[in-house]
Amino acid sequence: MSEAKPKPRKTRIQQRNSETIIEAALDVFSKHGFRGATLDQIANAAGLSKPNLLYYFSSKEAIHAELLEGLMDTWLDPLRALDANGDPKEQLLGYMRRKLEMSRDLPRESRLFANEVLQGAPRIGAGLGGDLKALVDEKAAIIADWSRSGRIAQVDPYHLIFSIWALTQHYADFDAQVRAVLGGEDPFPGAEAFLDTLYTKLLIP
Amino acid sequence: MSEAKPKPRKTRIQQRNSETIIEAALDVFSKHGFRGATLDQIANAAGLSKPNLLYYFSSKEAIHAELLEGLMDTWLDPLRALDANGDPKEQLLGYMRRKLEMSRDLPRESRLFANEVLQGAPRIGAGLGGDLKALVDEKAAIIADWSRSGRIAQVDPYHLIFSIWALTQHYADFDAQVRAVLGGEDPFPGAEAFLDTLYTKLLIP
DNA sequence: GTCTATAGTCTGATAGAC
DNA sequence: GTCTATCAGACTATAGAC
């Protein structure tokens, strides 16, 4: 409505095209990695010309950076939701299940981060040592408390969190391998049952 | 010695240079992925000129292919060693420990495969559906037998194997993230203790 | 066998018409 | 805002001297 906003950053059409580009970039970057992806592929996927892409984003780097930044929050939400006041086993199993759902529903996002971290996190290295470490430290302290008070078994909280990341994201990141071995069968029902058992047994004091 | 071999494929110097190139290529491909790696980087790392590289291998693809093929065996050796006649829990924990050692001692190899699988295994897709699936099927049958006879708990053998892959390779493939969170502390002692506990509890009937 | 020079291609980014 | 045309640099691969 208002015409006098101090920073009218984006018109409706700009907003719409930016989103289309980000969506297309997610497709391409997650499939080929940063270096493997080309602006041509992204432009095609977005239904725009290459120069038009660069009218909305100043460079290939800029698209990738905005994509990663925008997803970081979504990606860490399940861990943020871990509640110190909830039931320990329920909280941890719930966290694992939400992460597994994300692997099933957002595999491109998982592979985008995997590509980035696998190559040494050249573009989000700072974010890992900063926000991510702070969040993990906070939640690890909660888990350590649960262990100390005997509400769950003695476990190293950091490796427990790593294990949840590794086990759930594996089904998105190594999808090609998992499906090759299972011969096309849907891995997720079996995965959830397995992980439920695994963590239930681990956490019993 | 003999001059009359039917296929004297490689002289000593050819052998030596080929190995130097493969070693350099492992370094570069594992760090940047196939597309991200350049022949210049590999040539530099090998201490050879770019055309000289292509005297030994017909193309960038050829270097990558030989590298992957040569490593596939090493990579699957620990699973091959799983012995149907051994003690079930000992066999499975031993397999996990060997895989964790490989993550620690051969992280470049782990990341090379991770890069390949993450992008849909475009160059070894056949190997996954063939040899790998056959090997996993064979070992999964052994594990299923152990479960049936009550020597270990009821577990889905495929997801058990996936979990060992995911948990052990995570420490090599996501090294940047693990170290960022742990603040430089060596992850492996803690990882081994955690994984020992995890699988011990899981496998108790 | 190894090198310098370079051909030929791909790709990120820009110029400029509409 | 969007397009066609195109530049400049990087890259794989080859030619050809030594």
Q: What is the number of other CB atoms lying within 10 angstroms of the CB of residue A147? A: 19
Residue B8, pLDDT above cutoff 80: no
- Amino acid A84: pLDDT: 98
Question: What confidence tier does A31 reach under pLDDT thresholds 50, 70, 90?
Answer: very high
Question: What confidence tier does B9 reach under pLDDT thresholds 50, 70, 90?
Answer: low
Q: Is the CB of B49 under 7 A from strand C?
A: yes
C-alpha B188/C-alpha A49 separation (Å) is 48
Q: Is the CB of B38 under 7 A from strand C?
A: no
pTM as predicted: 0.95
Strand C-proximal residues of A, range 103-142, CB below 7 A, are none
Q: Are B194 and A166 inside 8 Å of each other by CB?
A: no
- Give the start-to-end residue ranges of the domains of chain A: 9-58, 68-203
Residue A93, pLDDT above cutoff 80: yes
Range with the lowest mean pLDDT among A178-182, B3-7, B9-13, B146-150?
A: B3-7
CA distance B56 to chain A (A): 25
Residue A14 structure tokens: 């700009």
Interface A-B, measured as beta-carbon pairs within 8 A, has a size of 161
Q: Among B168, B177, B195, pick the best mutation site for testing chain A contact (most A Cβ within 10 A).
A: B177
Residue A195 structure tokens: 């992980």
C-alpha B102/C-alpha B104 separation (Å) is 5
Question: What confidence tier does A9 reach under pLDDT thresholds 50, 70, 90?
Answer: low
Q: Are B198 and A202 inside 8 Å of each other by CB?
A: yes
pLDDT tens readout for residues B98-132: 999 999 999 999 999 999 999 999 999 888 889 99
CA distance A21 to chain B (A): 21
The mean per-residue pLDDT over the stretch B168-174 comes to: 98
A-chain residues within 8 Å CB-CB of B187?
159, 162
Residue A96's φ and ψ, nearest 5 degrees, are -60, -45
C-alpha A32/C-alpha B120 separation (Å) is 9
One-letter amino acid at B48 equals L
Give chain D positions with protein CB within 7 A.
1-5, 10-16
- Amino acid B165: pLDDT: 98
- Mean pLDDT, chain B, whole residue set: 95
pLDDT tens readout for residues A35-87: 999 999 999 999 999 999 999 999 999 999 999 999 999 999 999 999 999 99
Q: Which nucleotide comes closest to B41 if you measure CA to C1'?
A: D11
Residue B65, pLDDT above cutoff 50: yes
- Percent of chain A at pLDDT > 90 equals 89
Is residue B161 within 8 A of residue B140, CB to CB? The reply is yes
- Amino acid B193: pLDDT: 98
The mean per-residue pLDDT over the stretch B161-190 comes to: 98
Residue B5, pLDDT above cutoff 70: no
The mean per-residue pLDDT over the stretch A195-199 comes to: 99
Q: Are B194 and A159 inside 8 Å of each other by CB?
A: yes
Domains A9-58 and A68-203 share a fold: no
The mean per-residue pLDDT over the stretch B187-199 comes to: 98
Q: Report the distance from CA of residue A51 to the C1' of nucleotide C16 in Å, as an integer.
A: 12
Q: Are B174 and A160 inside 8 Å of each other by CB?
A: no
Architecture of the domain spanning B68-203: Orthogonal Bundle (1.10)
Residue A96, pLDDT above cutoff 60: yes
CA distance A118 to chain B (A): 5
The mean per-residue pLDDT over the stretch B40-56 comes to: 98
pLDDT tens readout for residues B68-99: 999 999 999 999 999 999 999 999 999 999 99
- Amino acid A125: pLDDT: 87
Residue A107, pLDDT above cutoff 70: yes
The mean per-residue pLDDT over the stretch B154-182 comes to: 98
Q: Report the distance from CA of residue A14 to the C1' of nucleotide C13 in Å, as an integer.
A: 20
The whole-angstrom distance between residue A124's C-alpha and the CA centroid of its chain comes to: 13
C-alpha A114/C-alpha A120 separation (Å) is 10
Fold of A9-58: Arc Repressor Mutant, subunit A (1.10.10)
Range with the lowest mean pLDDT among A1-5, A148-152, A191-195?
A: A1-5
